[in-house]
Amino acid sequence: MWRVGVDVGGTFTDLFAWEEKTGQQVAAKVLTTKHDRSIAVLEAIKKANIDMADISYLMHGTTTATNALIERSYPDAALITTDGFRDTIEIGRQHRQFLYDPYQTKPKPIIRRRFRYTVSERMNAQGKTVRALDIQQAQEIAHKIKASGVQAVAIGFINSYASGKHEQQMRDILREICPSVHIVLSSETRPIFREHGRFVTTAVRAACMPVMVKYMDDLESRLVENGFKGQLLILKSSGGVMSAATARNHPEDMLESGPAGGVAYASYLTAKTGFNHIVHTDVGGTSFDVSIVENGQGLITRNHELEWEVPIVVPMLDIHSIGSGGGSIGWIDAGGSLRVGPKSAGSEPGPVCYGRGGTQPTITDANLLLGRLDPTLNGKFQLDIPAAEAAMSELAKKIGLSTLETAEGMIRIGCEYMAQAVKKVLVSRGRDPRDFVYASFGGAGALHACIVAKSMNIPKVIVPPHAGVASAFGATVMDLRQDIEKFYYSPVQAANLNEINAIFAELMEKARQALLEQGYAQVERISISKTAQMRYVGQSYEVDVSLPDGEITQSSLAAIEQEFHKVHEQEFGVSSNDFAPAFVSLGVTAIGQMDEPPHLEFNRVSDQDLIKGEREVYFDGAWQLCTVFDGEALGAQDHIEGPAIIEYEHACTVLPPQTHAYLNEMGTLIIEIESSAANDEELANVSMAAGK
């Protein structure tokens, strides 16, 4: 039986699969079908020549929910909230994205104002009723919602994190009057204080639910029609998988579903390569994703913003994404400067050289003209060089440069955007880039990896086997995961330990039961870890702190406080003994361990020529003759000096001058970059800014 991972991106849909007994592996890449992304999933399985009936698990990462939110392409949803809080999701926290820009505008609210209703009710912060829910008013609102025809309703009452009683009453009324609508409660979505993040996350869940229910229904119907009998599992933003039934009801857990697979592969590489500090990067056709993996674990955030002032307060892998990929379009701004992205050609029409109707030059076109891409895209189809050259020449005329100068300028600008994204992730969390290796994933990743890594003075780049389908690979090694959290505030030394232990017992049982309901039957293989969101008394932000196993006792508190100080100093560069630490919320993570993959042999094709040929490649304003290597034929004894090109089935690695590469025993290409004194001085300044 096959375990199959599929990642649906903005341009390509990637597949990686391994046979559970033999370890046989296969990969495939097809263009994403934007009008119905489930079609591309079936096309990828067909291209991999896998029989649907032979699939035991299909692990699926998707950007469907994210795309629906960014494009606001979902059916209208409604929000019911407490009197006085109708505009909370639009007002936000009254922050300004650009302090001195008088023309900035807020993103469109997730739910339009005409569909936001208020009702008289009030709970206090202790969960006691101050004003009962106005039943008559609630019924009138339910009738208005029924007449409006909306498909989903979010209910978010102030202080419902302390008690969801009134939200549940409102749900009962809605179910009676308009039984066909999807209903979500903020007290069940994320029962934490700070109403803005809680309301927005609940609104996101409601808005995306009709979209994801339809997508899951279509996908499962198509799979079953084609003979699928296995289990469909969906990648979660927190780094695990969940059942398709759970995914239908929790679209907010899928906003980083696709990139989460890449983080899982980076975690897998930690165990296989010995690199404990990895910057995971993934360059696709549309976006560039970057995150940190330390000691085999991706860092988690609860401060993810879909857009400015649109916070999602569920635990998510801390992945930063920008619009910079192979399909990013080059253009000239009002000041006459060359810019690249974030607009992308995607898969439709795609880069100009794809011959699918694209007219604006992209990063892919630039790489082709500079000799860095095989004109046949490694035998997949013939790229149109004259069309790419004509489009680039038009752009070049506008800026007064030659065609090649413009193409190389696009690459440099695109790589600098990527480098700034890497810098933002590392420095914002107090990390020194020189302590990390740069893991390059995605079909376009290794084309640019050395340039980006050198810009950040990261000394090593690793390009693992199947880097072109890395997120799909990572999906196949992920475990079932359930995160549950509950609000609990108290200074650590004043905490009621009986209450804390009772909360943890309740959360652990709920998490364990949630895994069982998703079809996980191996109870003995469920592991549960405990965490707390903590801060200094008086602070307005928290950090995640791991708590010891077993009951929390008085003797545990000193160690918990020390761990909090340590985490706070790592994240922000400072800690304090003058302020008391406090608990803000308690959470558990339950992991249902999936079977380990068989030892995956990354065999090289021994009877294949190592060298495919030579071609001229443009570096730093001049053509240089480069050897083109077959990545599938490289072995551990092979060492390559840059400049050179290494081509794989689904990716291409560019080794610029002053680099050299070799393979380790698992087939990972390790590239060492010669650093410069200028970069060393710049990174020393970056480290000082990070508090190191």
Separation CA 375–CA 567 (nearest Å): 50
Is pLDDT at 293 greater than 90 in this prediction?
yes
Q: What would the two tokens of residue 11 be? A: 């341009």
Q: What would the two tokens of residue 390 be? A: 């004509």
Q: Which residue has the higher pLDDT, 170 or 607?
A: 170
Q: Could you tell me the sign of the dihedral formed by the alpha carbons of 358, 361, 367, 370, in that order?
A: positive
pLDDT tens, position by position, 320-337: 888 888 899 999 998 899
Look-up: residue for tokens 């039957």? 521
Q: What would the two tokens of residue 197 be? A: 């993040």
Task: Give kind and range of the element (H or E) at residue 138.
Answer: helix 135-148
Is pLDDT at 685 greater than 60 in this prediction?
no
Q: What is the DSSP letter of 478?
A: P
Write phi, then psi, for 147 (nearest 5 degrees): -70, -30
Is pLDDT at 599 greater than 90 in this prediction?
no
* Residues in contact with 4: Cβ distance below 8 Å, sequence separation at least 6, in sequence order: 15, 16, 17, 45, 48, 50, 55, 57, 58, 59, 476
Shortest CA distance to 303 belongs to which of 63, 61, 536, 540?
A: 540
Is pLDDT at 281 greater than 90 in this prediction?
yes
CB 259 within 8 Å of CB 438: no
Is pLDDT at 553 greater than 70 in this prediction?
yes
Say how many C-beta atoms besides its own lie within 10 A of residue 16's C-beta: 31
Q: What is the pLDDT of residue 607?
A: 57
Burial class of residue 234 (count of CB atoms within 10 Å of its CB; 0-12, 13-18, 19+): buried
Separation CA 290–CA 425 (nearest Å): 7
Task: Give kind and range of the element (H or E) at residue 526.
Answer: strand 526-536
Banded pLDDT at 691 (limits 50, 70, 90): very low
CB 411 within 8 Å of CB 426: no
Dihedral through CA 488, CA 493, CA 495, CA 496, nearest 10? 170
From-to residues of CATH 3.30.1490 in the chain: 480-592
Look-up: residue for tokens 């995640």? 544
One-letter-per-residue 3-state SS of 328-361:
EEEEECCCCCEEEEEEECCCCCCCHHHCCCCCCC
Q: How far is CA 371 from CA 416, 447, 589, in A?
A: 20, 11, 48
pLDDT tens, position by position, 624-641: 999 999 988 888 778 999
Strand pairing class (152-156; 611-619): unpaired
Q: What is the DSSP letter of 325?
A: S
| Counts of helices then strands in the chain (DSSP H, E) | 17, 35
Q: At 621, is the secondary structure helix, strand, or coil?
A: coil
Radius of gyration of the chain (CA): 26
CB 256 within 8 Å of CB 61: no
Is pLDDT at 676 greater than 60 in this prediction?
no
Shortest CA distance to 218 belongs to which of 98, 45, 38?
A: 38
Task: Give kind and range of the element (H or E) at residue 146.
Answer: helix 135-148
CB 434 within 8 Å of CB 656: no
Q: What is the DSSP letter of 362?
A: B
CB 315 within 8 Å of CB 201: no
* Residues in contact with 138: Cβ distance below 8 Å, sequence separation at least 6, in sequence order: 80, 119, 169, 170, 173
Q: What is the pLDDT of residue 688?
A: 40
* Residues in contact with 207: Cβ distance below 8 Å, sequence separation at least 6, in sequence order: 68, 69, 74, 75, 77, 110, 111, 152, 154
Q: Where are the beta strands (DSSP E) in 169-230?
A: 182-185
Is pLDDT at 682 greater than 70 in this prediction?
no
CB 337 within 8 Å of CB 306: no
Q: Which residues pair with 453 in a beta bridge?
A: none
End-to-end CA distance of the chain: 49
For 18-46, give one letter per residue: b (16+ CB within 10 A) or e. Answer: bbeeeeebbbbbbbbbeeebbbbbbbbbe
Separation CA 391–CA 249 (nearest Å): 45
Q: What is the pLDDT of residue 684?
A: 47
Separation CA 446–CA 424 (nearest Å): 20
Q: Is the peptide bond before 657 cis (omega within 30 degrees of 0)?
A: no
Separation CA 499–CA 486 (nearest Å): 12
Separation CA 468–CA 104 (nearest Å): 38
Geometric angle at alpha carbon 114, from 109 and 120, rounded to 5°: 100
- How many CA atoms lie within 13 Å of 55's alpha carbon, on the beta-carbon side? 29
Rounded to an integer, the average pLDDT of 37-44 is 90
**What mean pLDDT value characterizes the chain?**
90
Q: What is the pLDDT of residue 595?
A: 81
- How many CA atoms lie within 13 Å of 1's alpha carbon, on the beta-carbon side? 12
pLDDT tens, position by position, 476-499: 999 999 999 999 999 999 999 999
Q: What is the DSSP letter of 405?
A: H
Q: What is the DSSP letter of 636?
A: T
CB 288 within 8 Å of CB 417: yes
Yes or no: is domain 480-592 CATH 3.30.1490? yes
Q: Which residue has the higher pLDDT, 536 or 682?
A: 536
In sequence order, what DSSP letters do the residues of 527-548 get, joined into one string? Answer: EEEEEEEEEETT-S--EEEEE-
CB 285 within 8 Å of CB 11: yes
pLDDT tens, position by position, 437-485: 999 998 889 999 999 999 999 999 999 888 888 899 999 999 999 999 9
Give percent above pLDDT 90 in the chain.
66
Q: At 245, is the secondary structure helix, strand, or coil?
A: helix
Helix 403-428 × helix 677-689 angle, to 10°: 40
Separation CA 65–CA 186 (nearest Å): 19
Q: What is the pLDDT of residue 103?
A: 86
CB 255 within 8 Å of CB 313: no
Q: What is the pLDDT of residue 418?
A: 94
Q: What would the two tokens of residue 529 be? A: 């870890």
pLDDT tens, position by position, 132-175: 999 999 999 999 999 999 999 999 999 999 999 999 999 999 99
